[in-house]
A and B are shown apart, each in its own frame.
Chain A
């Protein structure tokens, strides 16, 4: 016999019931179920809190030793105990920016094609393929990066450098591994994220928007570019932010092709380093608390930035989906 005449929707259990109701519900198992599942849900909050606490606490030694200088000096010398993270921050920013410059036009273009032009069957088949690309482990992308992308770029890049000899920041000797290589590899890795979310956002644009523009005599492209894309603007921006967070936190593929040289190179074609890559390479062998602390502080920096970017992304995606569903 169900004691509680409450509705079935997932509202909070009515706490106004008297003692007898509570006992009945306890005997029926409701209170036990709530307690157990609540505990598990709470664990998530707890784990995340603990994660922040550990990153903050274990990086204390480095934070106290270097203060804000940690972010703005570029000497990374474990032997002398000098840790400045600028080369890694620089590398992360540059590789991510390159990935975005290459990935955004390709991704948004493909999303437009899949949402607006492709017949539904073809669109869902291609989307399926592209979503599978997101499932490829990053170490495998890195493997292809080392053994395929690097040799190809070694052939191609010198010609580009020659042709564009007036641009100073792409000159210099090219060894195959470089900030540029990492940017290209990252661009391929973020494509599926941009495409699948943007496609969904574009699909959620109401049809009367398109019909209105077409009725005014706009071409298909004009409709898409001047009406549909602006309407879905926030959502597309959200997908780009999500991809940005991915790119900044991406570790393996970057580590394998970036060159791992803790300097701030003048050229994009020179080897560099990134935050995630230096943690991956040096953490296991970092002797001494200060060294380890500095690497954990790098993790803290990365954590902070990705959280901010992710938060912004979710707000943007949510705002468009709301607008579309009106």
Chain B
């Protein structure tokens, strides 16, 4: 009797230790994946990174060297357009939800926002394609910017709403006690109070769409030269990485690593910075 219970005890104890160790291994694996990605890109990408990468156009096939200046500028232009589309709609929509909404319509907006957030990015590409590229009959920076902009909206709405809600009620009450109208209180007191959060939210959002490739494949397309204005197809860093990675040329592979390193450094840099600011300022953005 005692032996069985002793054995039982040993069995339970060892199951305990083994399973807990396994969960630790799982964590190690997940965190290790990131460390591995970072390390490998740093070693491989930074190695061949030079000034030319930032200043020169891609060289024709067969010639070594060259850079991705057009893709860097292209990504910048796309992000600018995306901001122009996504930020006003997202931010003001968030103001509505946080300050004026409250009934059935707000529920609908939140529901649809979550829905839109779950739509695969390639479908945003199809959408921008059907409403801009198809009527115009050519790929354009505009279409790419629109696709990214729509992708920004859901996160922009939800993060603005959250940050505005975090502003203490006392600030609103104070403003209104001084005779400000509700909207005056919102624009002059509540929004400035939430400024840091709103801006970090925007940065995180930009970092997220900066790496998006799928929606650009058939909207902004790609370009081996400079793209003038907003109506021409344009190169972008993520699409460039994709094209160079699946190409058969070793030199292009090397450039893909460099571009990957630059993109990852930007995206993670913004992420780390924003999260540090958020951790100091208030509850973390999910």
- Residue contact B92 to A44, C-beta cutoff 8 Å: no
A249-B89 in contact given A107-B26, A136-B34, A140-B263 (Cβ < 8 Å): no
A51–B130 CA distance with the chains assembled, in angstroms = 9
A133-B92 in contact given A28-B181, A251-B121, A284-B221 (Cβ < 8 Å): no
Q: Which of B59-67, B76-84, B207-215 makes up part of the contact surface? A: B207-215
Query: Which residues 215-249 of A sit at the B interface, judged by CB distance below 8 A?
Result: 219-222, 225, 242, 245, 248-249
In the complex, per-residue mask of A44-70: 1 if CB is within 8 Å of any chain B CB, else 0: 110110110011001000000000000
Q: What are the residues of chain A within 8 A of B169 when measuring CB–CB?
A: 8
Q: What are the residues of chain A within 8 A of B245 when measuring CB–CB?
A: 139, 142-143, 146-147, 256
Q: What are the residues of chain A within 8 A of B89 when measuring CB–CB?
A: 40, 43-44
Nearest to B176 among chain A residues (CB) is A2
A118–B180 CA distance with the chains assembled, in angstroms = 49
Nearest to B264 among chain A residues (CB) is A140
A147–B257 CA distance with the chains assembled, in angstroms = 10
A110: CB under 8 A from chain B?
Answer: yes
- Residue contact A139 to B241, C-beta cutoff 8 Å: yes
Q: What are the residues of chain A within 8 A of B101 when measuring CB–CB?
A: 10, 12, 41
Q: What are the residues of chain A within 8 A of B7 when measuring CB–CB?
A: none
- Residue contact A107 to B30, C-beta cutoff 8 Å: yes
A16–B272 CA distance with the chains assembled, in angstroms = 49
- Residue contact B40 to A144, C-beta cutoff 8 Å: yes
- Residue contact B214 to A296, C-beta cutoff 8 Å: no
A251-B257 in contact given A132-B34, A191-B33 (Cβ < 8 Å): no
Q: Which of B48-56, B102-110, B224-232 makes up part of the contact surface? A: B102-110
Query: Which residues 201-220 of B sit at the A interface, judged by CB distance below 8 A?
Result: 207-208, 210-214, 217-218
- Residue contact B126 to A137, C-beta cutoff 8 Å: no
Nearest to A58 among chain B residues (CB) is B130
Q: What are the residues of chain B within 8 A of A146 when measuring CB–CB?
A: 245-246
- Residue contact B241 to A140, C-beta cutoff 8 Å: yes
Q: What are the residues of chain A within 8 A of B145 when measuring CB–CB?
A: none
- Residue contact A40 to B122, C-beta cutoff 8 Å: no
Partner of A43, one of B93, B108, B127, B264: B93
A78: CB under 8 A from chain B?
Answer: no
Q: What are the residues of chain B within 8 A of A250 when measuring CB–CB?
A: 120
A249-B130 in contact given A1-B179, A12-B100, A136-B268 (Cβ < 8 Å): no
- Residue contact A117 to B92, C-beta cutoff 8 Å: no
Partner of B127, one of A28, A29, A55: A55
A94: CB under 8 A from chain B?
Answer: no
A30: CB under 8 A from chain B?
Answer: yes
- Residue contact A299 to B92, C-beta cutoff 8 Å: no
Q: What are the residues of chain A within 8 A of B41 when measuring CB–CB?
A: 140, 144
Distance in Å: Cβ of A21 to nearest Cβ of chain B = 12
- Residue contact A37 to B93, C-beta cutoff 8 Å: yes
Q: What are the residues of chain B within 8 A of A3 when measuring CB–CB?
A: 181
- Residue contact A283 to B181, C-beta cutoff 8 Å: no
In the complex, per-residue mask of A119-142: 1 if CB is within 8 Å of any chain B CB, else 0: 000000010111111011111111
Q: What are the residues of chain B within 8 A of A112 when measuring CB–CB?
A: 23
A110-B37 in contact given A33-B187, A220-B20, A299-B126 (Cβ < 8 Å): no
Query: Which residues 92-117 of A sit at the B interface, judged by CB distance below 8 A?
Result: 105-110, 112-114, 117
A118–B26 CA distance with the chains assembled, in angstroms = 13
Q: Which of A166-174, A263-271, A301-309 makes up part of the contact surface? A: A301-309
Distance in Å: Cβ of A197 to nearest Cβ of chain B = 9
Q: What are the residues of chain A within 8 A of B183 when measuring CB–CB?
A: 28-30, 32-34
A280-B182 in contact given A44-B153, A130-B30, A136-B34 (Cβ < 8 Å): no
- Residue contact B119 to A303, C-beta cutoff 8 Å: yes
B235: CB under 8 A from chain A?
Answer: no
In the complex, per-residue mask of A255-288: 1 if CB is within 8 Å of any chain B CB, else 0: 0100000000000000000001001100110000
Most chain B CB within 10 A, of A37, A110, A141, A307, is at A37
Q: What are the residues of chain B within 8 A of A252 when measuring CB–CB?
A: 213-214, 238, 242
Q: Which residues of B are at the interface with A, using a C-beta cutoff of 8 A?
A: 12-13, 15-16, 19-20, 22-27, 29-31, 33-35, 37, 40-41, 88-93, 95-103, 105-106, 108-109, 112-116, 118-123, 125-127, 129-131, 134, 139, 150, 153-154, 157, 169, 172-173, 176, 179-184, 186-187, 207-208, 210-214, 217-218, 221, 238, 241-242, 245-246, 253, 256-257, 260, 263-264, 267-268, 271-272, 275
30 A-B pairs whose Cβ atoms sit less than 8 Å apart in the complex: A2-B176, A3-B181, A4-B182, A30-B182, A32-B183, A36-B92, A37-B95, A37-B100, A38-B100, A42-B109, A44-B113, A51-B127, A109-B26, A109-B27, A112-B23, A117-B20, A129-B35, A130-B34, A132-B268, A133-B30, A136-B267, A141-B37, A143-B245, A219-B16, A249-B120, A251-B120, A252-B214, A252-B238, A256-B246, A307-B115
Q: Which residues of A are at the interface with B, using a C-beta cutoff of 8 A?
A: 1-4, 6, 8-13, 25, 28-30, 32-34, 36-45, 47-48, 50-51, 54-55, 58, 105-110, 112-114, 117-118, 126, 128-133, 135-144, 146-148, 188, 191-192, 195, 219-222, 225, 242, 245, 248-252, 256, 276, 279-280, 283-284, 295-296, 299, 302-303, 306-307, 310-311, 314
8 closest A-B pairs by beta carbon, nearest first, are: A137-B211, A249-B120, A109-B26, A28-B181, A37-B96, A310-B118, A40-B92, A33-B183
